Amino acid sequence: MRKCCFWGLLFIAFGFAWRVTAEHNPRTERISGSAGDVLEDDPVGKLKVYVYELPSKYNKKILQKDPRCLSHMFAAEIYMHRFLLSSPVRTLNPEEADWFYTPIYATCDLTPTGLPLPFKSPRMLRSAIQLISSSWPYWNRTEGADHFFVVPHDFGACFHYQEEKAIERGILPILRRATLVQTFGQQNHVCLKEGSITIPPYAPPQKMQARHIPPETPRSIFVYFRGLFYDVNNDPEGGYYARGARAAVWENFKNNPLFDISTDHPTTYYEDMQRSIFCLCPLGWAPWSPRLVEAVVFGCIPVIIADDIVLPFADAIPWEEIGVFVAEEDVPKLDTILTSIPPEVILRKQRLLANPYMKRAMLFPQPALPGDAFHQILNGLARKLPHKKSVYLKPGEKILNWTAGPVGDLKPW
Amino acid sequence: MKLSALHQSYLSRRSNSFRSSGPLDSSSDGGYKSPAAVFWIILHCLCCLISLVLGFRFSRLVFFLLFSTSSSNLYTPPFRSAVELAKTLDVHSVLSTNSVANNFRLPFPNKTASNSRVVVGRHGIRIRPWPHPDPVEVMKAHRILERVQKEQRLQFGVKDPRTIIAVTPTYVRTFQALHLTGVMHSLMVVPYDLVWIVVEAGGVSNETASLIEKSGLKTIHVGINQRMPNSWDERHKLESIMRLHALRIVREKKLDGIVMFADDSNMHSMELFDEIQNVKWFGAVSVGILATSANIDESSDRKEEEENPRMPIQGPACNASNMLAGWHTFNTLPFAGKSAVNIDDRLTVLPRKLEWSGFVLNSRLLWKDGEDKPDWIKDIDMLDGDVESPLGLITDPSVVEPLGSCGRQVLLWWLRVEARADSKFPPRWIIDPPLDITVPSKRTPWPDTPPELPVKEKPEMGIQEPIVKHTTKTRTSRSKHRSKRKHETRTDTQVSTKHSEQN
């Protein structure tokens, strides 16, 4: 009797396992292991976020002045705010909140051509933090260690677009203890502090969805890239822009028919990416760019040429298995590197990229979908809980220096 | 500091570039400048002046190299003078980049010590000695592309593709090479397994065999003993008989797949072969009819345009619910009485009511003992005589499946073009023995004089003189072209020129 039971159970277990694996779709591959599981985590119930009520001069009024902020690559801060306002993780009771969010649109000061000027951002943040520290007790409790800020600027909270100046400034002193959610990521760099969450830049999901071509269209372009190689305005000789890597790509491969690279801006840019096997994602003035997001969404294997870059959600997405990393000094050998990748590896990467969860994790769709970038940010925040006891300051203890930083930052906003 | 608007509009999409920051730059401390900084500024102005004079950028970096120990902390980035540099940008280019930056690294030591091995500053642009594609790597890349595309076809294309059995009736004539090569090349590109049954009127000939063997496809070449008649009607009838003969071969050999009729003068698109994989038993596609109208006078031209505004199409017609409702056939009324009767008539060649090429069938329909063969198929052994279209093979026309989004896609085109019945062509299109010389070439590399031809003196020499002078100067051997014109005779030591008749 017992033996019969045992065999019966074994048979059922085997049948179940067989069924589960049989349903495995051969077209896409799930990233197995801890990383893949983390991608599918649901943050609801794991954390509570309190959204400060700031006066609209910090957010709505800025947006009204310039609605272009909703569609440029720094728009993540705006959409994060909107998502949090209606998300189930939001709590109206700050006492039970694990994380505090300050809705401030710091990149929304745009030039006529649409690039953000970061010069007022430090002052804006200072003014906002002064407001929250005086109106609510939660900032002073931890000096910001359980607060997070979305700073999608070129070099994160260093608030400058030029790398040397950004390094000089360093991360804004009053944000030293807060968690920063930023697009910039480079190892051992002043502007990436430990515990930051790297996110992808904003890419408009509807525009990309509208430009899908039938998946049976054969991929006939080997390597694809559209963008500048020399920034003629600011670095005419080359060598500064992209640390010379983009210029090296051009000089070495402009005669190579396998490399479809140029500075043209065609209307079929998205369609062409879907017809390519590899898409180059070299660094520019900053190591990150929306090209990575576009490559992942369109199933084109990203070739990342940026030394020491920290890619979005690096603790949840195994970028080594999905993309190809090429050191900047190996750029002249790029064709050798790419052609020597075995076809099985390429097919596996394509299968991983075809996974819809992978694509969704890079996007900021409205309304939010489970597993999208908003949820990955919340997952990242949830993984940092519970806060260490040392985060809470003893009464009278002060760590932050409110007068540190360049004199210009101390002016009121 | 102004930046060109053109560049900006592009840059704003992708890269982070510098924006005008003058008075807003909160991080620039106005105030004192150290003497070394002043020295650099003066040097910079000097270099700019030199660049203006020379016409290319004379880089301050040369000096930096020379005095490399000092002042690394005060090295100001060259961006502030972007506008001044822009003036000297004309011969900018790769030249200076290569010369200054190639294999030359100048790291900018950060003020704040960081352990990063990635440094900000000017880097060299690495260019390998031979920046051209390596053929072995190109082949590897193509193999990767093929493998990826194969995988795409496996995933998104037709599941379990069936063999295609193409039936082509043909016979030896001038235009056979033209038509048959077209069909052969189309069939060679089809990504599925293929069997090509070629039925030849007048028996198996070497002509056709030599054409077909270049295909590399699996072919079955049979002949029937009748010769192809000269009138179109008779020809259509004989072709039907030839096709039935091929279907009997399919039955005998029990070939498994999809039978399609690839007439040798038709034009097939690749989507046709993908679409017919969807057929279950008996399908029909839309055929575009290209009825060549060789001799149409003005009035009938206009009349035709009114009546047949679109290209005529033969094929299935569907109702709103995408079910087969009827057939589009070719409207022969405008051509009544004006159509070609014999093959070499220079009049419109009309198709029949429904062409064979618009139909495809599952080869199992033809087998003697198919397991689940439907009952509406007639046994082809019972048929004799002419079957005008494949609809004659079935008892119930409503079972036909319309393919190509219910006949809306035209996947192949029907065309009949033939040469005159008495036209001759060299066997296998190989010129042997060589043809007689009709026009000699003017300048030959051999010193032997070419054969003399009867010449006529032409009165107008004057016009031709300048041309002749030019040709003797250039001494090109494009004499075949020139010899068509009238020339003067000239005696050269090496080459002799002749008058040649202008034909």
Quick one: average pLDDT of B158-166? 89
B59 reaches A (C-beta below 8 A)? yes
Percent share of chain B, pLDDT over 70 = 63
Distance CA B145, CA B137 (A): 12
Regarding pTM above 0.90, the answer is: no
Distances (CA, A) of B16 to A121, B25, B39: 17, 17, 31
Q: What six digits make up the tokens of B491?
A: 């005696």
Cβ–Cβ contact B15 with A under 8 A: yes
Write down the pLDDT at residue B384.
66
* A277 closest CB neighbour out of B3, B13, B145: B145
DSSP three-state, residue A48: coil
User: Among B244, B374, B401, which Cα is nearest to B315's?
Assistant: B401
* Interval B442-461 mean pLDDT: 59
Consecutive H or E run containing B180: helix B176-189
Residue B221: strand, helix, or coil: strand
Verify whether the Cβ–Cβ distance A336 to B137 is below 8 Å.
yes
DSSP B426-445: -GGG---SPPPPSS--S--S
Q: Do A244 and B125 touch (CB under 8 A)?
A: yes
Q: What is the pLDDT of residue A26?
A: 63
Query: What ipTM was estimated for this complex?
Result: 0.85
Q: Cβ atoms within 10 A of the Cβ of B9, count? A: 13
Residue in B361, B350, B347, B355 with CA at minimum distance from that of residue B328? B355
Is A156 strand, coil or helix?
helix
Contact B11 A232 (CB under 8 A): no
User: Taking CA atoms, what residue in A is nearest to B88?
Assistant: A236
Pairing of strands B282-284, B401-402: parallel
**Residues of B whose CB is below 8 A from A113:** 5, 8-9, 11-12
Contact A399, A139 (CB under 8 A): no
Q: What's the confidence (pLDDT) of residue B117? A: 73
Residues of A in contact with B131 (CB under 8 A): 251-255, 332
Which of these, A112, A291, A237, lies nearest to B8 by C-alpha position? A112
Q: Say what the pLDDT of residue A290 is.
A: 92
Please tell me the distance in Å from A174's CA to the nearest CA on chain B: 17
Residues of A in contact with B137 (CB under 8 A): 335-336, 339
Three-class SS of B75-92:
CCCHHHHHHHHHHCCCCC
**pLDDT tens, B175-230?**
999 999 999 999 999 989 999 999 999 889 998 999 999 889 999 999 999 988 88
CB of A413 within 8 Å of a chain B CB? The answer is no
- Rg (C-alpha) for chain A, rounded Å, is 23
d(CA B228, CA A125): 91
Q: Which amino acid is at A40?
A: E
pLDDT tens-digit series, residues B75-125: 333 443 333 333 333 333 333 433 333 443 344 443 344 456 778 888 889
What is the spatial distance between Cα A13 and Cα A22, in angstroms, rounded to a whole number?
14
Find the helix packing angle between A373-383 and A76-85, rounded to 10°: 80
Digit-by-digit pLDDT tens for chain A (413 residues) are: 677 677 766 666 555 555 444 444 567 777 665 556 677 788 888 899 999 999 988 889 989 988 888 988 999 999 999 999 999 999 999 899 999 999 999 888 888 888 888 888 888 899 999 999 899 988 888 888 889 999 999 898 898 888 888 898 889 888 888 999 999 999 999 999 988 999 999 999 999 999 999 888 889 999 999 999 998 888 887 888 999 999 999 999 999 999 999 999 899 999 999 999 999 999 999 899 999 999 999 999 999 999 999 999 988 888 999 999 999 999 999 999 999 999 999 999 999 999 888 899 999 998 889 889 999 999 999 988 888 887 787 777 777 888 877 888 788 88
Ordered DSSP codes for A262-328? ES---TTHHHHHHTEEEEEEE--SSS--THHHHHHHTTPEEEEE-TTB--TTTTTS-HHHHSEE--G
Q: What is the distance in angstroms between the Cα of B89 and the nearest Cα belonging to chain A?
A: 8
Which of B110, B129, B130 minimizes the C-alpha distance to B119?
Answer: B110
Give the closest-approach CA distance of A130 to chain B in angstroms: 20
pLDDT grade for B491, boundaries at 50, 70 and 90:
very low
User: For residues A55 and A74, what is the distance between their CA atoms, to the nearest angstrom?
Assistant: 21
Residues of A in contact with B21 (CB under 8 A): 117, 119
Residues 84-143 of chain B with CB under 8 A from chain A are: 85-86, 89, 92, 94, 96-97, 100-101, 108, 110-112, 114-118, 120-128, 131-134, 137-138, 140-141, 143
Chain B contact set for A190 (CB, 8 A): 112, 114
Size of interface A-B (CB pairs under 8 A): 232
- A267 has a chain B CB within 8 A of its CB: no
A314/chain B closest Cα distance in angstroms:
19
Q: Is there a contact between B147 and A347 if contact means CB atoms under 8 Å apart?
A: yes
Helical residues (DSSP H) of B294-397, grouped into ranges: 298-307
Which of B78, B141, B147 has its CB closest to that of A222? Answer: B141
pLDDT digits (tens, 9 = 90+) for B52-71: 888 776 665 565 556 544 44
Q: What is the pLDDT of residue B71?
A: 41
* Residues in chain B closer than 8 A to A111 (CB atoms): 19-20
